[in-house]
């Protein structure tokens, strides 16, 4: 219901719904009853943490979003292990929020880790976004060789997976790099 309220832009009810789900799922995971489907509840809890974090991010509540993404990431790694597409997605989100909060070092740490894990997932179609995000951070830090390397990697990954959105992001990154290095 929380997602439905969110889509209908009833953000108060959406937030109440997320909090209700999180509270009940957390209780179900921590105190499974006889014959419980604890693993299913754990996966659902991780998904709800992720959705709520995105909800908070959309409302520019960065500190709260960061905390919920961290919880989702920790739960995700406990369910699937480190080498999983969702782990990479969550690390990318953590890097993005760190960047938005002005913490470039944390952003680079999260994104570098996402890239390392992503290299073990050759079929991951959205990895180009992680490369481009890392390239953009290097661009902000005026580390142009690294920026070029990662924006180019993003472009190649997007091309390999026929990801038009990724190609567009990578091309923008490379164009921005050309602009900055010309001046």
pLDDT in tens, 19-31: 998 998 988 888 6
What is the tally of structural domains in the chain? 2
User: What are the tens digits of pLDDT across the range 44-94?
Assistant: 999 999 999 999 999 999 999 999 999 999 999 999 999 999 999 999 999
d(CA 173, CA 154) in angstroms, rounded, equals 9
Q: Measured in whole angstroms, how far is the alpha carbon of residue 140 from the centre of its chain?
A: 20
Q: Per-residue pLDDT for 36 more than 90?
A: no
Q: Measured in whole angstroms, how far is the alpha carbon of residue 122 from the centre of its chain?
A: 18
**Contacts with 165 (C-beta within 8 Å, 6 or more apart), sequence order:** 158
Q: What is the pLDDT of residue 149?
A: 98
39 and 109 share a domain?
no
Q: What is the pLDDT of residue 3?
A: 78
Which pTM value belongs to this model? Answer: 0.88
Q: Per-residue pLDDT for 120 more than 90?
A: yes
CATH number of the domain enclosing 119: 1.25.40.10
Domain boundary (80, 98, 131) is at: 80
d(CA 51, CA 69) in angstroms, rounded, equals 9
166 against 2, higher pLDDT = 166
Helix 11-30, helix 38-58: angle, nearest 10: 150
């Amino acid at each position: 219901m929380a997602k439905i309220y969110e889509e209908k832009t009833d953000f108060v009810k959406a937030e109440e719904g997320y909090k209700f789900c999180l509270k009940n799922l957390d209780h179900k995971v921590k105190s499974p009853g006889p014959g419980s489907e604890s693993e299913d509840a754990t996966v659902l809890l991780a998904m709800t943490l992720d959705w709520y974090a995105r909800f908070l991010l959309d409302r520019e509540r960065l500190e709260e979003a960061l905390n919920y993404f961290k919880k989702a990431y920790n739960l995700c790694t406990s369910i699937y292990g480190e080498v999983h597409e969702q782990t990479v997605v969550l690390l990318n989100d953590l890097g993005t929020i760190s960047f938005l909060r002005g913490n470039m070092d944390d952003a680079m740490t999260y994104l570098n880790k996402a890239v390392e894990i992503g290299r073990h997932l050759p079929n991951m179609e959205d990895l180009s976004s992680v490369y481009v995000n890392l390239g953009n951070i290097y661009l902000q830090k005026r580390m142009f060789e690294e920026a070029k390397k990662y924006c180019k990697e993003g472009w190649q990954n997007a091309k390999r997976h026929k990801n038009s959105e990724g190609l567009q992001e990578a091309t923008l990154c490379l164009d921005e790099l050309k602009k900055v290095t010309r001046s």
